[in-house]
Chains A and B, each alone.
Chain A
Amino acid sequence: MLDMPQGSSSDYAVLASGLVKQFGKKVAVNGVDLAIPRGTVYGFLGPNGAGKTTTIRMLATLLQPDAGEALIMGHRLMKEPDAVRRHISLTGQFASVDEILSGRENLIMIARLMGYNAKQAKKRADQLLEAFGLTDAASVQAKKYSGGMRRRLDIAASIVVRPDLLFLDEPTTGLDPRSRNQIWEIVRALVASGTTVLLTTQYLEEADQLADRIAVIDHGRIIAEGTSSELKASIGSGMLHVRLQQADQRARAQEILASVLQSPVHSATDPLLLTAQIQQPELAIRALGELAAASIEVTDFSLGRPSLDEVFLTLTGQTAEPKEEVKA
């Protein structure tokens, strides 16, 4: 049976242990454990091909895990898929609405499948269209919607009957900032009404804004887990980037930076660039001084908040850029 974290299974929307999924020789998900408290937003943060979507597809009963087990809203994922389905809703990474049909027809169809009669289904569809600002586009085919409208329709379809657990796979990828803010507002409203949300994202800011807890996923494993501030604390206050004048001075510069900053210094593919995590900004100033003292010419430097790429750099020693073989 599952190792219960603390409390009972009724405190968690998702409890999973050792989930594995393999496609041919490629291990897409390699032993994922999860404990997602009910009524919270849980963020999966990771690059393309990290295993986020595969994990969601397993939890949403779409893919059979090769190993591991999970409880979704207290129901066993593999043994009671129908019971699980009564509690969940999925908004996939690519439009999970029928693009040929209009927005209204899509919502009516979902409502009918949920058991509403024809009249109730129409009423519910119109109510959702209005709440999601889609009334004007109600009779327009979904394929003619803008990215933001399509996303809203997609989420509206997921809450025809408000689920206890909603999976949102990259809900804001490719959206303009205003549409993104609208989606964020919807997610907050959903959580306020009691739905647990599991969302995947490639954006640190999104996870930061929405998620109560975040799991950083890479190569099918969770490499870090915690609240946003816990994760930030673990990756330090920021990153120092130094661009050198001469490539042949890089090895020497790397040594100096490492000794002053007391943290690993990464050499990027760019032969002139060095990147290091820093704990205190004062150390960065000292390090630059040491470089100048060693007559290493610096053309440019910057000190910034960690980006997702840098989170990965720190946590894995690799960049978040998807590798060839990772491509799903």
Chain B
Amino acid sequence: MESVHFSSDKLQKTLQTENRPGSPGKLAVSLTFARRALLKIRYQPEQLLDVTFFPVLMTLMFTYLFGGALAGSTSQYLQFLIPGILVQTVIFTTVFTGVSLNTDIAKGVNDRIRSMPVWSPAPLVGGLLADAVRYAMASVVVLIIGLVLGFRPTTDIIAIAAAIVLVLVFAFSLSWVFTTIGLVMRTSAATMGISMTLLLPFTFVSNILVNPVTMPSWLCALVTINPVSLLTTAVRELMHNQFDWAAISWVFVASACFIAVFAPITMRLYRRK
């Protein structure tokens, strides 16, 4: 497929075009990187497996494994579980942010981008914004499968949307932890390994699957202060037409903390790569 027509006249003309555009804003370049990540999904639709197949699997598995034993019936348990599984699925999806950054950073295109006069966090911010789209897809998949199985939220669409936005905000913030890991680890397999090791206790030592009242008091305390529990509580309440402002505020505080600590570390590591 070698192309033969190579025009030196046209080349000359291309070089003489001298309308240097002004520097684009931070948001504009971040959105360009987000668009790039989304364009790639078109070429690699298998990238969507973790936000389609995985949420379905998680929902079905936990509903039928635990439903009868924990809540007497699966339909009872679904009302409790679906908001939690929404949180869990999206949080698990955030791991792939670090993994894909680790794979991406090794490519030559990063050298080009980093030698360009663009806002340096833009490739990361853009990537995370594109991931937010993926998280939204995962959320919708969980909700749909939940509704099919018998989840009945007692609220309106706006509260549900607010719940999803809250999950996205938290996931976006948490992603910076995994981008840090992705930049520290040498391979994507190692990134995956470390991230999952951190993520498993972080998600399971929470109120996603069970009510913590029967746990030993020290564990119950741990579960209560886990930001994942706070997020789950806030989402659960939103789905059932309650606004737990305390939980919602804590989710924002936790999110701000993740960004404040891990975004600068990520950027420092990224600039040094």
Instruction: Please state if B15 and A101 are interface contacts (CB–CB under 8 Å).
Output: no
CA gap between A190 and B32 in the complex, in Å: 28
CB distance from B26 to the nearest CB of A (A): 12
Using an 8 Å CB-CB cutoff, how does the interface string of A51-67 with B read, 1 for contact, 0 for none?
A: 00000010011101000
Q: Which of A39-47, A140-148, A274-282 contacts B (4 or more CB under 8 A)?
A: A140-148
Q: Mark out the residues of chain A between 65 and 114 whose CB falls within 8 Å of any chain B CB in the assembled complex.
A: 82, 85-86, 88-101, 105, 109-110, 112-114
CA gap between A149 and B5 in the complex, in Å: 11
Using an 8 Å CB-CB cutoff, how does the interface string of A184-200 with B read, 1 for contact, 0 for none?
A: 01100110110100000
Instruction: Please state if A85 and B115 are interface contacts (CB–CB under 8 Å).
Output: yes
Q: Does B36 contact A (CB under 8 A)?
A: yes
Q: What B residues does A131 contact at CB under 8 A?
A: 7, 10-11, 13-14
Q: Which residue of A lies closest to B7 (CB)?
A: A131
CA gap between A174 and B257 in the complex, in Å: 49
Instruction: Please state if B23 and A115 are interface contacts (CB–CB under 8 Å).
Output: yes
Q: Which residue of A lies closest to B109 (CB)?
A: A98
Instruction: Please state if A61 and B114 are interface contacts (CB–CB under 8 Å).
Output: yes
CA gap between A117 and B70 in the complex, in Å: 56
Q: What B residues does A193 contact at CB under 8 A?
A: 12, 15-16
- Knowing A85-B115, A96-B111 touch, does A133 contact B6 (C-beta < 8 A)? yes
Instruction: Please state if A136 and B3 are interface contacts (CB–CB under 8 Å).
Output: yes
Q: What A residues does B17 contact at CB under 8 A?
A: 124, 127, 162
Q: Which residue of A lies closest to B44 (CB)?
A: A100
CA gap between A113 and B23 in the complex, in Å: 8
Instruction: Please state if A92 and B112 are interface contacts (CB–CB under 8 Å).
Output: yes
CB distance from B42 to the nearest CB of A (A): 9
Q: Does B1 contact A (CB under 8 A)?
A: yes
Q: Which residue of A lies closest to B31 (CB)?
A: A112
Interface residues on A, range: 35 or more
- Knowing A85-B115, A193-B16 touch, does A94 contact B108 (C-beta < 8 A)? yes
Instruction: Please state if B114 and A62 are interface contacts (CB–CB under 8 Å).
Output: yes
Q: Which residue of A lies closest to B18 (CB)?
A: A162
CB distance from A301 to the nearest CB of B (A): 41
Q: Does A16 contact B (CB under 8 A)?
A: no
Q: What B residues does A93 contact at CB under 8 A?
A: 108
Q: What B residues does A145 contact at CB under 8 A?
A: 1
Instruction: Please state if A128 and B14 are interface contacts (CB–CB under 8 Å).
Output: yes
Instruction: Please state if A133 and B16 are interface contacts (CB–CB under 8 Å).
Output: no
- Knowing A149-B2, A189-B15 touch, does A114 contact B7 (C-beta < 8 A)? no
- Knowing A95-B108, A115-B24, A193-B12 touch, does A133 contact B114 (C-beta < 8 A)? no
Interface centre among B1, B22, B28, B111 (most CB of A within 10 A): B111
Instruction: Please state if A101 and B39 are interface contacts (CB–CB under 8 Å).
Output: yes
Q: What A residues does B15 contact at CB under 8 A?
A: 159, 162, 189-190, 193, 195
Interface residues on B, range: 35 or more
Instruction: Please state if B115 and A62 are interface contacts (CB–CB under 8 Å).
Output: yes
Instruction: Please state if A132 and B111 are interface contacts (CB–CB under 8 Å).
Output: no
Q: Does A116 contact B (CB under 8 A)?
A: yes
Q: Which residue of A lies closest to B36 (CB)?
A: A109
Q: What B residues does A315 contact at CB under 8 A?
A: none
Q: What B residues does A86 contact at CB under 8 A?
A: 117
Q: Does A130 contact B (CB under 8 A)?
A: yes
Q: Which residue of B lies closest to A112 (CB)?
A: B32
Using an 8 Å CB-CB cutoff, how does the interface string of A2-41 with B read, 1 for contact, 0 for none?
A: 0000000000000000000000000000000000000000
Instruction: Please state if B8 and A185 are interface contacts (CB–CB under 8 Å).
Output: yes
Instruction: Please state if A146 and B5 are interface contacts (CB–CB under 8 Å).
Output: no
Q: What B residues does A99 contact at CB under 8 A?
A: 107, 109
Q: Does B116 contact A (CB under 8 A)?
A: yes
- Knowing A98-B109, A116-B21 touch, does A133 contact B5 (C-beta < 8 A)? yes
Q: Which residue of A lies closest to B23 (CB)?
A: A115
Instruction: Please state if B40 and A101 are interface contacts (CB–CB under 8 Å).
Output: yes
Interface centre among A114, A144, A162 (most CB of B within 10 A): A114
Q: A95-B108, A110-B112, A115-B22 are in contact. List 17 more A-B contacts (CB 8 A).
A: A61-B115, A62-B114, A62-B115, A89-B115, A91-B112, A97-B112, A105-B39, A112-B24, A113-B32, A115-B23, A127-B10, A149-B3, A159-B15, A161-B21, A185-B6, A189-B15, A192-B12
A-B contact pairs, 18 of them (CB 8 A): A57-B111, A85-B117, A90-B115, A93-B108, A105-B36, A113-B24, A113-B32, A113-B116, A114-B21, A133-B4, A136-B3, A141-B43, A146-B2, A157-B112, A161-B21, A162-B17, A167-B115, A189-B11
B residues touching A (Cβ–Cβ < 8 Å)?
A: 1-8, 10-18, 20-24, 28-29, 32, 35-36, 39-40, 43-44, 107-109, 111-118, 272
A residues touching B (Cβ–Cβ < 8 Å)?
A: 57, 60-62, 64, 82, 85-86, 88-101, 105, 109-110, 112-117, 120, 124, 127-128, 130-137, 140-141, 144-146, 148-149, 152, 157-159, 161-162, 167, 182, 185-186, 189-190, 192-193, 195
